[in-house]
Amino acid sequence: MKIRDKFAAEPRTFSFEFSPPRTPDAVIRLFETAERLRGLAQSLLAFSRPAAEEATSLDPNEVVERALDLCRYQTLKAGVRLERALAPGLPRILGVPNQLEMALINLIVNAAQAMNERPTRELRLSTEADGDMVKIRVADTGPGIPPRLQASIFEPFVTTKPEGQGTGLGLSTVLMVVERHHGKIDFTTAPERGTTFTLTLPAIR
Ligand SMILES: Nc1ncnc2c1ncn2[C@@H]1O[C@H](COP(=O)(O)OP(=O)(O)O)[C@@H](O)[C@H]1O
Ligand SMILES: [Mg+2]
């Protein structure tokens, strides 16, 4: 069945009420919705428009700082304490800034969401040189990733979040970006202690 026929067969009505926001809560929900849509749009763009942008020489710490800037709203809102441990004098990496920033934003937002309602909410971003590679780590003090999920979190549409909050596209997008940069991603996680994602990217010789 063609998509158009399917839609014709299942008529849908869209209805919405328009009333001005009454409380700051409504404004916050509006922001949250906008952020979610932006995240979804970015993921879909990354899937559908591979390598549209050119790779350039980048300072890994600047990539981290820009990613943090771009998701300041989510981390502030979640009441997360942010710690940076960015090694000075790192070698540069070859990368597409938007893609790498988006990958880090996905990891940061996941970390902030995982720590929601936890007593301690600490997000730690660190960088270090490791031989001819650069490592970027995003560590949280969330609940950890349950063992039954660990093998599948990088698959598209795997999510534990309620509908409307998670798309399950975040980590699959991150993996795709990292592979396109000839790097790798792995994680360590401990129940009730937290999770650390590590991106390992080749330094420019
Ligand atoms: N830092 C983390 N701590 C605990 N669980 C995580 C973390 N990051 C990802 N996850 C788990 O992996 C799933 C997939 O993540 P992701 O691909 O970004 O999709 P989404 O965030 O839309 O659910 C999440 O729903 C969550 O269960
Ligand atoms: Mg996510």
Cβ contacts of 186 within 8 Å, gap of 6 or more: 197, 198, 200
pLDDT tens, position by position, 87-115:
999 999 999 999 999 999 999 999 999 99
Whether pLDDT at 6 is above 70: no
- Does the C-beta of 159 come closer than 6 Å to ligand 1? yes
Position 28 scores a pLDDT of 76
Residues 199/135, Cβ–Cβ less than 8 Å: yes
| Banded model confidence at residue 1, pLDDT cuts 50, 70, 90 | very low
Going by alpha carbons, the residue nearest to atom 5 of ligand 1 is 145
In angstroms, the CA 94 to CA 115 distance is 32
The count of C-alpha atoms lying within 13 angstroms of the C-alpha of 175, restricted to the half-sphere facing its C-beta, is 12
pLDDT tens, position by position, 53-79:
789 999 999 999 999 998 888 788 889
Going by alpha carbons, the residue nearest to atom 14 of ligand 1 is 159
Q: How far is the CA of 186 from the centre of ligand 1 (A)?
A: 13
* Token code pair at residue 91: 């070698």
* SS3 track for the chain: CCHHHHHHHCCCCCCCCCCCCCCHHHHHHHHHHHHHHHHHHHHHHHHHCCCCCCCEEECHHHHHHHHHHHCHHHHHHCCCEEEEEECCCCCCEEECHHHHHHHHHHHHHHHHHHHCCCCCCEEEEEEEEECCEEEEEEEECCCCCCHHHHCCCCCCCCCCCCCCCCCCCHHHHHHHHHHHCCCEEEEEEECCCEEEEEEEEEECC
Highest mean pLDDT among 14-23, 40-49, 193-202: 193-202
Work out the average pLDDT over 45-54: 64
- Does the C-beta of 45 come closer than 6 Å to ligand 1? no
* Token code pair at residue 8: 């014709």
Which of 159, 169, 173, 188 to probe ligand 1 with, by most ligand atoms within 8 A of CB? 159
Going by alpha carbons, the residue nearest to atom 9 of ligand 1 is 110
What average pLDDT is seen over the chain?
A: 87
* pTM for the model: 0.80
- Does the C-beta of 173 come closer than 6 Å to ligand 1? no
Work out the average pLDDT over 163-180: 92
Partners of 88 in beta bridges: none
146 versus 38: which is more confidently predicted? 146
Position 5 scores a pLDDT of 55
| Ligand minimally distant from the alpha carbon of residue 164 | 1
In angstroms, the CA 130 to CA 135 distance is 7
Whether pLDDT at 23 is above 70: no
Q: Which CATH class is domain 22-202?
A: alpha beta
Going by alpha carbons, the residue nearest to atom 19 of ligand 1 is 168
Q: With pLDDT > 70 as the criterion, what percentage of the chain qualifies? A: 84
Whether pLDDT at 4 is above 60: no
